[in-house]
Amino acid sequence: MADPAVMGSHTLNLGMRSGTNKASTSPAENYYLARRRTLQVVVSSLLTECGYESAEKAAVESLTEMMQSYITEIGRCAKTYCEHTARSVPTLPDVVITLIEMGFNVDTLPVYAKRSQRMVITAPPVTNPPVIPKALIAGQKRTHPAHIPSHFPEFPDPHTYIKTPTFREPVSDYQVVREKAASQRRDVERALTRFMAKTGQTQSLFKDDVTAFPLIAARPSSIPYLNALLPSELELQALEETDSSEQDDQTDSENNPGNITNDDSGVDKENSGLPSGGVVPTVKASEENMIDNPYLRPVKKPKVRRKK
């Protein structure tokens, strides 16, 4: 009951995750393509400004590449300068220095920017910003306990450390248990007997449909009483389980009356160095008993005198 629910939510999460992944890859692509396209437009308009009427695609590509490299270099260097001064966000002077470093006459820039024949380029269409894929959320994210300063990194996602129970709640309803046990046993028995019936000879109660109630054929055995009298293995097993303790008790008490004295003497003897242990006295006693009984006596050798 609980399990399917868990499973369901699980798969649901999975689905969501794969969904976000797709969305995040294609917008990034789009962004890159858009930037590239914008740069191409810029290159083309600069060429037009300069008086070119047409340009080879490859040339435009090269110029675009150069332009991109250049801008990237500016960004990189500006960032470096800013970080050099222990800041994280570049400022205008950083860029200026960069430009200077790159051999660019900064003073020409305002003029150039305000040139008359400059072409206005429309802003690239706004593409939705790439969504950062959401981390899997399993369970409640833990906040820091009081003794951990808040600036310390947050706890990782709970799914990395919490255990998720995947077993089903045991059914404790007696009726259901009995019901299950009963039907299970019945099914097993039925299946087993059906199988036996199918694989061996059968007898049938009906003439019209011999498969209806298949009876495993009766097979005579040479020593029928053994099967009939000896408890089956199953029963023996059950017996061991149920009353092994009880039996122990019984044998203990049975042995006691006869053995207590024996045991004592055994201990004494042990002290005096005789080779008898706790168990030996009983064996010994039974050996003595054996002597009484003629059936336990050894068989005699034939007398020599007797002639064949």
Partner 1 sequence: MNRKKDKGFESPRPYKLTHQVVCINNINFQRKSVIGYVELTVFPTVVNLNRIKLNSKQCRIYRVRVNDLEAPFIYNDPTLEVCHHESKQRNLNYFSSAYTAAVTAVDPDAGNGELCIKVPSELWKQGDEMKVLKVYIEFSLDQPKGGLHFVVPDVEGSMAERGAHVFSFGYQNSTRFWFPCVDSYSELCTWKLEFTVDASMVAVSCGDMLETVYTHDMRKKTFHYMLPIPTAAPNISLAVGPFEILVDPYMHEVTHFCLPQLLPLLKHTMSYLHEIFEFYEEILTCRYPYSCFKTVFVDEAYVQVSSYASMSIFSTNLLHSTMIIDQTPLTRRCLAQALAQQFFGCFISRMSWADEWVLKGISGYIYGLYLKKTFGVNEYRHWIKEEMDRITDYELKMGGVLLHPTFGGGKEKDNPTPHLHFSIKHPHTLSWEYYNMFQCKAHLVMRLIENRISMEFMLQVFNKLLSLASTASSQKYQSHMWSQMLVSTSSFLKSISNVSGKDIGPLIKQWVEQSGVVKFFGSFAFNRKRNVLELEIRQDYTSSGTQKYVGPIKVTVQELDGSFNHTLQIEENSLKHDIPCHSKSRRNKKKKIPLMNGEEVDMDLSAMDADSPLLWIRIDPDMSILRKVEFEQADFMWQYQLRYERDVVAQEESITALEKFPTPASRLALTDILEQDQCFYKVRMLACFCLAQIANSMMSTWTGPPAMKSLFTRMFCCKSCPNIVKTNNFLNFQTYFLQKTMPVAMALLRDVQNLCPKDVLNFILDLIKYNDNRKNKFSDNYYRAELIDALCNSLTPAISISNEVRTVDNLNADVRLILEEITRFLNMEKLLPSYRNIITVSCLRAIRTLQKNGHIPSDPSLFKSYAEHGHFVDVRVAALEALVDYTRVDRSSEELQWLLTMVQNDPIHYVRHRILSMLGNNPPFTKAAESQLCTEALVDQLWKLMNSGTSHDWRLRCDAMNLYYTLFGLTRPSCLPLPELGLVLNLKEKKALLNPTIKPEQPVAAPELPAPMTFSAEEEHLVTDTPPIPVPPPSQALKRKLDTPLGSPPEPGQVLQDEPSIKIPMKGRFPTQEEEDIDMETVHDSQAFIYHHLNMLERPSTPGKEPPSVEQSLLSMPATPMPMPMPMPMPMPMPMPMFGKESSSSSKHGEHHHHHHHHHEHKKKKKKHKHKHKHKHKHDSKEKERDAHAFSNSPASGRSMRSPSLSD
One of 109, 182, 274, 283 touching partner 1 (CB under 8 A)? 182
User: Could you say whether residue 242 binds partner 1 (CB under 8 A)?
Assistant: yes
Query: What whole-number distance in Å separates Cα of residue 276 and Cα of residue 265?
Result: 10
User: Rounded to whole angstroms, how far apart are CA atoms 44 and 62?
Assistant: 12
Question: From the CB of 270, what's the least distance to partner 1, in Å?
Answer: 25
Shortest distance, position 199 Cβ to partner 1, whole Å? 12
Q: Does 93 bind partner 1 (CB under 8 A)?
A: no
* C-beta separation of 212 from 196 below 8 A: no
Our finding on whether 184 is near partner 1 (CB under 8 A) is no
Q: Any contact of residue 2 with partner 1 (CB under 8 A)?
A: no
51: left (phi over 0), alpha (psi -120 to 50) or beta: left
Shortest Å distance, C-beta 247 to partner 1: 9
* Binds partner 1 (CB under 8 A): choice among 179, 252, 264, 268: 179
Q: Which long-range contacts (CB under 8 A, 24 or more apart) does 57-63 make?
A: none
Per-residue binding string, partner 1, 216-235, x by CB under 8 A, is xxxxxxxxxxxxxxxxx-xx
Tell me the three state secondary structure of residue 296.
helix
The residue (of 168 and 297) whose beta carbon lies closer to partner 1 is 297
The 10 Å Cβ neighbour count of residue 250 is 11
Q: Which helix or strand (DSSP H or E) is residue 235 part of?
A: helix 233-271
CB-count burial class (<10 Å; 0-12, 13-18, 19+) for 160: exposed
Which range touches partner 1 (CB under 8 A), out of 1-9, 110-118, 260-268, 287-295? 287-295
Rounded to whole angstroms, how far apart are CA atoms 160 and 157?
6
Binding site for partner 1 (CB under 8 A): 174-175, 178-179, 181-183, 186, 189-190, 192-193, 196-197, 203, 205-209, 212-232, 234-235, 238-239, 242-243, 246, 289-290, 292-297, 299-303, 306, 308
